[in-house]
Chain A
Amino acid sequence: MSGGVTMGRTLKFNIFRFNPEDPASAPRMDAYFLEETEAMTLFIALNRIREEQDPALMFDFMCRAGICGSCAMMINGRPDLACHTKTKNLPAEITLMPMPVFKLVGDLSVDTGTWFRAMNEKVQSWIHTAKRFDPGQEEERMDNALAEEIYEMERCIECGCCVAACGKANMVPENFMGAAAFNRIARFMIDPRDERNNDEYFEVVGNEDGIFGCLGLLGCEDTCPKNIPLQDELGMLRRKMGFSQVKHLFRALLPGKKMA
């Protein structure tokens, strides 16, 4: 698949190596060299390195088509999906590191599964409804434009690039929810099937670990490989939650008053 057509460059890969399971292993950088071939991606390059030079090298690929989100890593200092990164767009020296924030499995492989399961639990990433599914009933109607708007936010592939690129998440990796979580909440907010009101979303995200902890650096928007408009969503969420916060303040000051 890598093709035999060489492109005239010899690429140097500096790759982070560390096996936390092995007591004898210490973090280090290893160098590998490859002849660049036509249409080479980091998927092709890393597999060739493993098969031809270093069978112990750990990294993650799954769909190799930019859909599953398995292969995010730091590529010359920037988080991106390795599978869709073409070597021809990179300099001849390429440095690959595992993403920060996530727990290291080994070398370039990090544990995004545990992180995102916890995120999904935290934001209660599901439709909250008192209704019960009735197999005998037709589906509830929905405007197609709204369905497409929901799909736009549903396109997140939980790759973790936004988290790795987030200044706040790097400062407080244990707690800060990150753009993927905010995007998920925004997705349910616009979905009329979810019966949660803004106060309920506020309970989840209206705090310093949530939207009010966001420093507005927008590394998330810059690095999202699916080009989800995170800046707009974070803005929307901040406004709505800001409004809820004001309501909470009023409630505290004026007990007994019913707020709309």
Chain B
Amino acid sequence: MDTFYTDLLCVGAGLAGERVAVAAAAGGFDSICLSIVPPRRSHSSAAQGGMQASLGNCCMGQGDCPDVHFADTVKGSDWGCDQEVARLFAETAPIAVREMAFWGIPWNRVVPGKSIYYKAGKQYEKVEAAERSGAIAARDFGGTAKWRTCYTSDGTGHTLLYTMDNEVVRLGVTVHDRVEALALIHDGITCMGVVARCLKTGKLRAYLGKATLIATGGYGKLYRESTNAVINWGDGAAVALDTGLVPIGNPEAVQFHPTGIVPTNILVTEGCRGDGGTLKDVNEERFMNIYEPAKQELASRDVVSRWMTHHIRIGKGVPSAYGPHLWLDIRHLGAQHIKTKLREVEEICNEFLDRDPITQLIPVRPAQHYSMGGVRTDKDGAAYGLKGLYAAGEAACWDLHGFNRLGGNSLAETIVAGRIVGEKIVEYLEGRQTEFKTSVVRQAVNREQERIEGLIGSTGKENVYELRAAMGDVLMDRVGIFRNQADLQGAVEKLQVLYDRSKKLGLRSTSVHGANPELGTALRLPGMVRLALCIAYGALTRTESRGAHAREDYPERNDRDWLKRTLAYWKNEGDPLPVLEYEKPSTVWQMPPGERGYGSTRIICSEDTEICIPKPETN
């Protein structure tokens, strides 16, 4: 068996993983990045709209600063985020954006003079100052007080990822693509690396690192309808959970994006609404202006998705063979704007819907989009429970987003967290020696080898693809945008049955030569169902509504009893349910809980005087 040694092992080579590897290289340390796909194909590349940073260059962003970005982020999170992390993030984001410009991002720039823009379907005029000409521009996104989202057309994730990977190539960082982590190697105290499966040869490998980073992105593909790429099955979160020591923070905090196209759930960017696009119903009439007079189409994603679902439920959806949907209208933005600032949207509509968004409406419906939850870390990115284990990006619960992430804050998080966590890992690595215990490595490898042999020789009858689809149905139908006791209880019970069935898989393809995709799915399925159970059980237990977690039977945000973060542990493989523990979401309260300015205002106030009476020196 091949064994590889390195200083930093990055599991995942999207934006967050590569940014950490770049930091390690800058600090003089070696890294190996493992990636299921070639790094430039990572899901980071699909992020379209942009990256928030309070540069305040354009006239609609005037007066912006990290304080305002911080406040928007905390409100967006529905006070579920760690405010120390949010502060660190907002202050670092402008530097991170400029660093990416230095490395080669062709950010859209401020064009001086008069131009028109649209907000909520109406036309306005703005004048950009000559002295800001050529500085990095920004567009409007939901839940923000200022235009703050830096962008390159609607291919921002693509240009960021390519530029980051250029740095990886320049620095000579080793990347092993088509490699999937199956388990963490640890002795109960320290993480030493991973057991991985090569997706070219099917062979097992051991990767040993003085530090290990999980940066595998989100777990949207647990859901039936998700904007996520097909590989977003949550492998990193699953292997961390499987240790029994590392918790998943806030698994129930799952974001639904308002504008997945119908069918296929491919995302069209929030930039459509940010640039002035509107949502319309079966009568081609707007409705967000009625539900949310202040922010209208640009309320936060959780709020817009809920109103859309509500509007469909009251019969205002557009009927189709794929169920009712609503319309996104960007026609009034005009051909010139769509062909430059929204060209990926145009391409997606043309290629996947046979529709021209310049002259036709786009069929949309909320679809699962983002996992606010993930491997729980401290503000340095160090995972709870195991020394030497880190996480960053969507795979982590750092916790910047709390119960709802703002558009443009995920790309920003990958770069900012990657930068900060990377520096912390360098500090950790400096002067550090790790003992790799061969007995522990051997044990971990043997366990995976036995799982493979067990599956190949299994007499079980369960079909991997059927079980995976059933899991997706349960989450979609019962742990979706609106939740309630009966649905969630049913979801937990159904998932428990699926978990038992996932131990009796039977393969139709028993080849051990090469990648064998069915075996790959079978190996990851039990971990996926455990994660799904964390989501459903966390949602069942949280008897309040906060951000994206909306309980019909508990509509209030309950700061008195639920101003806390869920920590889900899977202590033993045979356990039927995760163990849930809780912690305070934040140790500092620069911004005490209040109203968001959009969405529900039903709040049960906290009685904790430390949280609710603002200290005089903060604002």
A residues whose Cβ falls under 8 Å from a Cβ of B: 1, 3, 5, 19-23, 25, 38-39, 41, 50-51, 54-58, 60-70, 84, 105-106, 109, 111-114, 116-117, 120-121, 124-127, 131, 133, 135, 137-144, 146-148, 150-151, 154-155, 157-158, 191, 193-194
Contacts and interface: CB of A to CB of B under 8 A. Distances in A.
A186 B548 CA distance: 45
Given A55-B517, A113-B178, A141-B133, A151 B43 contact: no
A113 B152 contact: no
16 contacts: A23-B513, A57-B517, A65-B264, A66-B351, A66-B352, A67-B344, A68-B46, A70-B37, A120-B165, A121-B169, A139-B136, A142-B107, A147-B108, A147-B152, A148-B108, A157-B158
B511 A22 contact: yes
A116 B351 contact: no
A34 B173 CA distance: 44
Nearest to B509: A56
Given A113-B38, A148-B106, A21 B101 contact: no
Contacts of A155: 155, 158
B110 to A, nearest CB: 7
B338 to A, nearest CB: 14
A65 B202 contact: no
Given A127-B103, A147-B109, A147-B152, A142 B517 contact: no
Listed residue (B137, B230, B464) with the most chain A CB atoms within 10 angstroms of its CB? B230
A141 B514 contact: no
B200 interface: yes
A1 B98 contact: no
Top 5 A-B residue pairs of the complex, sorted by shortest distance between their CB atoms: A113-B38, A141-B134, A22-B513, A21-B514, A55-B518
Interface string B1-44: 00000000000000000000000000000000000011111110
Contacts, number: 201
B514 A63 contact: no
Listed residue (B37, B45, B265, B465) with the most chain A CB atoms within 10 angstroms of its CB? B37
Given A55-B517, A66-B347, A84-B352, A138 B135 contact: yes
Nearest to B153: A151
Nearest to A105: B200
Contacts of A147: 106-109, 152
Given A106-B514, A151-B155, A62 B104 contact: no
Listed residue (A66, A109, A113, A157) with the most chain B CB atoms within 10 angstroms of its CB? A113
Contact of B514 (A5, A22, A135): A22
Nearest to A132: B102
Interface string B246-272: 000000000000000001111100000
Nearest to B158: A67
A144 to B, nearest CB: 4
A69 B41 CA distance: 7
A19 B513 contact: yes
Interface of B: 37-43, 45-46, 95, 97-99, 101-104, 106-111, 133-137, 152-153, 155, 158-159, 162, 165-167, 169-170, 175, 177-178, 200-202, 229-231, 263-267, 321-322, 340, 344, 347-348, 351-352, 464-465, 507-509, 511, 513-518
A154 B152 contact: yes
Given A142-B106, A151-B153, 17 more contacts: A1-B265, A3-B321, A20-B514, A21-B514, A22-B514, A38-B321, A65-B266, A66-B351, A67-B45, A67-B46, A120-B169, A127-B166, A143-B109, A144-B111, A148-B106, A157-B40, A157-B158
A62 B230 contact: yes
Contact of B264 (A1, A56, A120): A1
Listed residue (A41, A63, A146) with the most chain B CB atoms within 10 angstroms of its CB? A63
Contacts of A1: 263-265
A62 B135 contact: no
A141 B109 contact: yes
A116 B38 contact: yes
Contacts of A70: 37-38, 41
B99 A144 contact: no
B524 to A, nearest CB: 15
A58 B517 contact: yes
Contacts of A5: 321
B340 to A, nearest CB: 7
B352 A140 contact: no
Contacts of A112: 38
Nearest to B155: A155
Contacts of B518: 50, 55-56
Contacts of A139: 97-98, 101-102, 107, 135-136
Contacts of B42: 68
A60 to B, nearest CB: 8
B109 A105 contact: no
A142 B153 CA distance: 15
B54 to A, nearest CB: 13
Nearest to B48: A67
A56 B322 CA distance: 30
Contacts of A131: 102
A142 B170 CA distance: 24
Contact of B108 (A19, A23, A109, A144): A144
Given A58-B515, A117-B169, A65 B348 contact: yes
A63 B216 CA distance: 15
A16 to B, nearest CB: 15
A117 B153 contact: no
A141 B513 CA distance: 54
A48 to B, nearest CB: 10
Nearest to B152: A151
A61 B37 CA distance: 10
A21 B322 contact: no
B58 to A, nearest CB: 11
B46 A113 contact: no
Nearest to A67: B46
Contact of A144 (B38, B137, B266): B137
